[in-house]
Amino acid sequence: MNNFSSKKREPLTDALLLMTITICIFFAMYVLAMLLLGGGFLHAQQVFDMLNDNASLIIVSCGLTIVMIGGGIDISVGAVTSLVVMSCVLYLNGGGSLLGSILLALGIGLAFGLVHGLLISYLEIQPFIVTLAGMFFARGMTTILSVNPQKVDHAGVAKLRETQIVIPWLGYVARNGNLVPARIELGVVVAILCVITVFILLRYLKLGRNFYAMGGNQQSALMLGINVKRTRFFSYLISGLLSGISGYVFMMHTGAGNATNAAGMEMNAIASSIIGGTLLTGGVGNIIGTFFGTLTLTTIKKIVVSSGLNDPWWQSITTGGMLCFFILLQSVVLGRRAKKKKA
């Protein structure tokens, strides 16, 4: 008898199991929307539009997933994104260069990540308090820069906005008989690269494994010789860096800065991470699950709007309901697996 056939198949890890459930639910929801609602859901551009509109959210969610895997939280990411957008818009309108605006965005993100990491890791202040202060500070600074909306007036940004990946064979024929090709914005490419980079970090690098160990059990991580303070510091530094990148992608997509930019993005990022299988308690999470968690969250909002429920509170209600559903699902699945392990 073959030795391989006699071996029992290894069970899925918690993160992989939750990610698989999220992916299945996303595809089930989308297929159901195609069958019942039709319309834009029948075209590939609907998926690409969800990616185009939420590229910055995907990037922020990547950073937040790293922090949550390590057992922390960062509620300042949306405000930092907004500050980056406004700062870059004013800098470019004042005659700044494209490269300078990119460095400015990365610098602001790294500055917040550095301060948060130092206060949380080495002074051991509660993450919620530190990042809450960071959120208020970033929102206040954004308002000081400009209360009124500011439109980007720079040729370089205009070229970046116009740069798109065109896929004719995934397009559709409009009512006037013209072929409308599928289009993907440059920001989506940046978001995908961020997802791939974070995936490699968490899957293959020592720092990524340290994030999981620290979030799973801090005392065990210390016994294994992991520098917990340094590891936690890097989680917030990476989160800040990704917030800076997210702000620049947001500016490329909207072409404008506003004091209310990215309002509520931190809550959507947390929801995307949880829906993707990341536990608030730490130690469990998968960046691919977070990616599909963002798509799932966006899909349910699209379904609500396509159903004729255009009032904004319906999207909030459905988002809250979905979040509760996935939290309950996580508790049930992980609870049953824990009982089986004990048995």
Confidence of residue 168 (pLDDT cuts 50, 70, 90): confident
The pLDDT of residue 190: 96
Query: Backbone phi, then psi, for 256, in 5-degree steps?
Result: -155, 160
129: domain CATH number is 1.10.3470
Number of domains in the chain: 1
User: Looking at the domain assignment, is residue 70 inside a domain?
Assistant: yes
pLDDT tens per residue across span 50-72: 999 999 999 999 999 999 999 99
Amino acid residing at 131 = T
Q: Please calculate the CA angle 117-120-125 and round it to the nearest 5 degrees.
A: 160
pLDDT tens per residue across span 302-320: 888 888 777 777 878 888 8
User: Looking at the domain assignment, is residue 36 inside a domain?
Assistant: no
Amino acid residing at 212 = Y
197 in Cβ contact with 36 (< 8 Å): no
Best-predicted range by mean pLDDT (185-199, 274-288, 290-304): 185-199
129 in Cβ contact with 188 (< 8 Å): no
Enumerate the β-bridge partners of residue 165. 184
Q: What distance in Å separates the CA atoms of residue 203 and residue 65, rounded to the nearest whole number?
A: 13
Q: How many residues does the chain have?
A: 343
User: Looking at the domain assignment, is residue 159 inside a domain?
Assistant: yes
| Alpha-helical segments (H) within the chain | 3-6, 14-36, 44-53, 55-69, 77-93, 98-117, 127-145, 155-162, 186-204, 206-216, 218-223, 228-254, 265-275, 287-306, 312-342
Res. 1: pLDDT tops 70: no
The pLDDT of residue 180: 73
Q: What is the 3-state secondary structure (H, E, C) of 189-220?
A: HHHHHHHHHHHHHHHHCHHHHHHHHHHHCHHH
Q: What is the 3-state secondary structure (H, E, C) of 227-260?
A: CHHHHHHHHHHHHHHHHHHHHHHHHHHHCEECCC
The pLDDT of residue 42: 83
- Whole-number Cα distances in Å, 194 to 63, 186, 230, 249, 343: 9, 13, 22, 12, 40
Confidence of residue 251 (pLDDT cuts 50, 70, 90): very high
Res. 120: pLDDT tops 50: yes
273 in Cβ contact with 61 (< 8 Å): yes
Q: What is the torsion angle, in degrees rounded to the nearest 10, for the CA atoms of residue 127, residue 130, residue 134 and residue 136?
A: 110
Give percent of the chain with pLDDT exceeding 70.
93
User: Looking at the domain assignment, is residue 35 inside a domain?
Assistant: no
Q: Across residues 141-164, what is the average pLDDT? A: 89
Tokens found for residue 125: 């202040």
Kindly give, in sequence order, each residue whose CB lies less than 8 Å from that of residue 64, ignoring residues fewer than 6 positions away: 74, 77, 239, 266, 269, 270, 273
Residue 22: strand, helix, or coil: helix
The average confidence (pLDDT) of the chain is 87
pLDDT tens per residue across span 187-203: 999 999 999 999 999 99
Q: What distance in Å separates the CA atoms of residue 112 and residue 240, rounded to the nearest whole number?
A: 6
Nearest CA-CA partner of 92 in 218, 252, 260: 252
User: Looking at the domain assignment, is residue 139 inside a domain?
Assistant: yes
Q: What distance in Å separates the CA atoms of residue 63 and residue 194, rounded to the nearest whole number?
A: 9
User: Looking at the domain assignment, is residue 294 inside a domain?
Assistant: yes
Res. 224: pLDDT tops 70: yes
Nearest CA-CA partner of 57 in 254, 256, 272, 238: 272
Q: Which range marks the domain in which residue 317 is found? A: 44-274+286-300+312-328
User: Looking at the domain assignment, is residue 334 inside a domain?
Assistant: no
User: Looking at the domain assignment, is residue 21 inside a domain?
Assistant: no
